[in-house]
A = this chain, B = another copy of it.
Amino acid sequence: MATIKDVAKLAGVALSTASYALSGDSRVSSKTRSKVLEAARQLNYRKNGFAMDLKRSRTNTIALILTDLSGPYYSELIRSVQEVALTNGYDLIACSSMGGRDSTAVKFLREKRADGAIILAPNIRDEVLIETSGPQFPIVIMDRPLCSEYLVNVLVDGEQGGYTATRYLIENGHRQVAYISGSADSYDNHLRYQGYLRALAEAGLEEQSKWRLSGNFVREGGYNATKMMIMQGTLPSAVFYGNDEMAIGGLKAFEESGISVPNDVSVIGYDDIQLAEYVNPPLTTIRQPKSEAGSLAAHLLFQILSGESVKQSYMLTTEMMERASAGKSKVEN
């Protein structure tokens, strides 16, 4: 691999001149510049990214840390982050936090292989985040509330969302509302569940343990939990699934058992994934402002990077998407 030294030699100029010419500095004469460029072309010279990073101690890259590179992605969110990064002339790379303490993600953070990071990976420990963040390495956290000097929070109000969903069901006359929960250790799940409880309490309803099943946030889990509920004999009049994936699994289980949604039971999901409007019946759900959140997160990062000061925490709210899977309760109350 040719180095800048070779280029300088071939072009017959000094190392620094070659460097300047190559990076388009205006103080080299255009004649010299073209000589250098030509030499570079001849040698098929490519600058070594690491040497540059080392020297400048800036990478012009931000990292997006995800639990699992293979999704299920918050694709809208990622898209908006990507757009903002591109607009600001930064590169965006994604890495996974799978693999525990030796994960690529943790290494990335510790070794500061980017100028900042956006975190969407609940399995990265708080301490790692607090330790690695700093004035030269701001971090935006989107998956938990966590405050520290160089950490900024961008969250979506899940408690509010859970409340809204449950409230909607109650207002439609449902008094038996099941909750199919996501992973027990998930902060998001916790929030949605709290919202559910609040709506229940407000309506003077009691939570029934038989109507709280776990689906682990996956389709299969929602399917199994629903099957189990069906086998139990009595059905609630409505079920609030902790996310759309589970709700879709639930829809399938109901269909297989000849139970009509929303005639026999109302279903509401959470997330408004793309798929939600395509399933049968189209899924009523809670939409999270994903693009807004992603774009806000990225903007914040760049603001911090450019020395502006920002609020420590931002909370966005959800929106109800009324479709066909939830209707009025048929039972007398």
Contacts and interface: CB of A to CB of B under 8 A. Distances in A.
B99 A86 contact: yes
Contact of A69 (B47, B53, B94, B274): B94
Nearest to A54: B50
Contact of A111 (B48, B274, B278): B48
Scoring A64, A111, A132 by chain B CB atoms within 10 A of each residue's CB, the highest score goes to A111
Contact of A94 (B46, B95, B251, B279): B95
Given A82-B96, A94-B94, A49 B112 contact: yes
Interface in A37-63: 44, 46-54, 57, 59, 61
A121 to B, nearest CB: 14
A107 interface: yes
A333 interface: no
Interface stretch (A72-80, A185-193, A197-205, A301-309): A72-80
A59 to B, nearest CB: 8
Nearest to A91: B104
B73 A71 contact: yes
A282 B70 CA distance: 24
A98 B70 CA distance: 18
A168 B115 CA distance: 53
B70 A73 contact: yes
B110 A46 contact: yes
Contact of A92 (B77, B78, B104, B110): B104
Nearest to A223: B278
A70 B61 contact: no
A27 to B, nearest CB: 24
A193 B79 CA distance: 30
A217 to B, nearest CB: 14
A252 B279 CA distance: 9
A226 B245 CA distance: 27
Contacts of A278: 219, 248, 251-252, 275, 279
A93 interface: yes
A69 B82 contact: yes
A250 to B, nearest CB: 11
A113 interface: yes
B107 A91 contact: yes
Given A54-B54, A72-B75, A219-B278, 19 more contacts: A46-B132, A48-B111, A50-B57, A50-B59, A52-B111, A68-B79, A68-B82, A70-B73, A70-B75, A70-B79, A70-B82, A91-B107, A92-B96, A92-B104, A93-B108, A278-B279, A279-B279, A279-B280, A280-B280
Interface of A: 1, 44, 46-54, 57, 59, 61, 64, 68-73, 75-79, 82, 86, 91-96, 98-99, 104, 107-108, 110-113, 131-132, 136, 219, 248, 251-252, 274-275, 278-280
